């Protein structure tokens, strides 16, 4: 029985994804689990769950590529690759016409320029600060006592945005506390936070440039407030996969199949 299946595992700061594809690069299954404090255990859990969904034994996987900040902890990996390369490959597989990828993850954000042949041309990455990331939104949601999944909708409901002058997560949190004390409407503060995130991402976009159709990946792609504001800036509709968190793992699996 041939080993004609391939897996990609993306170990992020907040979540870990595993994807399994066949030799024709068709997506068979995927899983998303919380990373927690043990990246190695999260990778194993994600892979086991994806295998179970695909109804495959472990020995049918010919090659595993790991990516993400915790890729070094994936003991089962045959190879490890950067998330930049894997996100480019995943986006190219899903949206062949896309030439620019914006990925907003839990702890970093990146803008990637893909060439006509699908190869990486250029990128900009923010991995030094949580500003403009999912973690930024998570901290602000907790501070405002709002469910994380409700933030985007509340941002869209606001008539205007309260200006947030700090992009640093720590200082922005203090600023939000002050704005609440000044009785600014919560939805307007939330919209202001979304504007601050998008402006931060926009600086990265301008560094790399906008090349053709743009895809948005990462968990923050599920936030309609961020999506709408980015689309206004770009003056185009973003390509977003139904499960935007798995694009990096999908890219890793596609590269494993090659």
What fold is seen in the domain 5-88+246-257?
Nucleotidyltransferase; domain 5 (3.30.420)
Task: Enumerate residues 6+ apart whose C-beta is below 8 A from 232.
Answer: none
Q: In this model, does residue 21 exceed pLDDT 90?
A: yes
Count of Cβ atoms closer than 10 Å to residue 128 Cβ: 7
Residues 141-195 pLDDT 10s: 888 999 988 999 999 999 899 988 776 777 788 888 889 899 999 999 999 999 9
Write phi, then psi, for 127 (nearest 5 degrees). Answer: -125, 15
* Average pLDDT rounded to a whole number, residues 241-246: 96
Q: In this model, does residue 1 exceed pLDDT 60?
A: no
Describe the crossing of helices 169-181 and 134-144 by its angle, rounded to 10 degrees: 30
Residue 178 CA to residue 175 CA, distance in Å, equals 5
> Residue 128: pLDDT band by 50, 70, 90 thresholds?
low
Location of each CATH 3.30.420.40 domain in the chain: 5-88+246-257, 97-240
> Residue 236: pLDDT band by 50, 70, 90 thresholds?
very high
Note the pLDDT of residue 9.
98
Q: By mean pLDDT, which of 18-22, 106-110, 111-115, 225-229 is the weakest?
A: 106-110
> Residue 130: pLDDT band by 50, 70, 90 thresholds?
low
User: Under CATH, which number does the domain 97-240 receive?
Assistant: 3.30.420.40
Q: CA torsion 118→256→9→68, rounded to 10°?
A: -50
Residue 48 CA to residue 156 CA, distance in Å, equals 38
Note the pLDDT of residue 171.
79
Question: Which of 116-120, 131-135, 172-176, 195-199 is predicted most confidently?
Answer: 195-199
Note the pLDDT of residue 118.
77
* Average pLDDT rounded to a whole number, residues 129-150: 84
Its pTM stands at: 0.91
Note the pLDDT of residue 124.
92
Report the mean per-residue pLDDT for the chain: 92
């Amino acid at each position: 029985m041939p080993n004609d299946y391939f897996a990609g595992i993306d170990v992020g700061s907040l979540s870990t994804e595993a994807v399994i594809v066949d030799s024709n690069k068709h997506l068979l299954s995927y899983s998303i689990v919380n990373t927690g404090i043990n990246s190695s255990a999260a990778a194993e859990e994600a892979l086991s769950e994806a295998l179970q969904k695909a109804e495959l034994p472990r020995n049918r996987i010919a090659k595993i590529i790991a990516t993400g900040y915790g890729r070094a902890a994936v003991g089962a990996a045959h190879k490890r690759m950067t998330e930049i390369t894997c996100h480019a490959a995943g986006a190219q597989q899903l949206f062949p016409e896309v030439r620019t990828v914006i990925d907003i993850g839990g702890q970093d954000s990146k803008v990637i320029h893909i060439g006509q042949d699908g190869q990486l041309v250029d990128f900009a990455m923010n991995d030094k600060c949580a500003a403009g990331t999912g973690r930024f939104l998570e901290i602000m949601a907790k501070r405002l006592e709002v469910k994380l999944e409700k933030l985007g909708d509340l941002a869209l409901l606001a008539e205007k945005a309260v200006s947030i002058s700090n992009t640093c997560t720590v200082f922005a949190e203090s600023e939000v506390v002050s704005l609440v004390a000044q009785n600014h409407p919560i939805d307007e503060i939330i919209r202001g936070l979304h504007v601050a995130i998008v402006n931060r991402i926009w600086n990265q976009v301008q560094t790399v440039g906008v090349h053709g159709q743009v895809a948005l990946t990462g968990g923050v792609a599920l936030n309609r407030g961020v999506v709408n504001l980015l689309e206004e800036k770009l003056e185009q509709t973003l390509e977003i996969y139904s499960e935007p968190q798995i694009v990096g793992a999908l890219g890793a699996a596609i590269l494993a199949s090659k």
